[in-house]
Amino acid sequence: MRLIALVFPFALMGCTQFPELCNAVSASGHNADFPKLAPVQSLLVQSRSTGPTAEQTVANLNARVQALQNRAARLRQTVVDPNIRNRMQNGIN
């Protein structure tokens, strides 16, 4: 029984249609040059100059935290003020 449990998954894999990869790359891709390698230092400098600074990231996160805290405070407030609640209770009774 254990042998069947081990052989069955391999038998299923044998029934699978293998994807056709021969035509996956075009003729121009086969004839293309290899990409040029760039020094890591120049890439690091470029990435630092294009993205936000650490101070901007911290400021954006702090603003977002404050906005979420304000929203949470608004959600904790009562939905119906006490006067309307009393009127609703008196209308039911």
Residue extents of the structural domains in the chain: 60-93
Contact 60, 52 (CB under 8 A): yes
- Express each pLDDT in 20-76 by its tens digit: 777 777 888 888 898 888 889 988 888 777 778 889 999 999 999 999 999 999 999
What is the amino acid identity at position 75? L
Residue-level pLDDT at 66? 98
Give the CA distances from residue 55 to residues 43, 59, 60, 69, in Å, rounded to whole numbers and listed in that order.
Answer: 21, 6, 9, 21
Task: Quickly state the pLDDT bin for 13 (edges 50, 70, 90).
Answer: confident
Of 90, 70, 74, which is closest to residue 82 (Cα–Cα)? 90
Structure pTM? 0.40
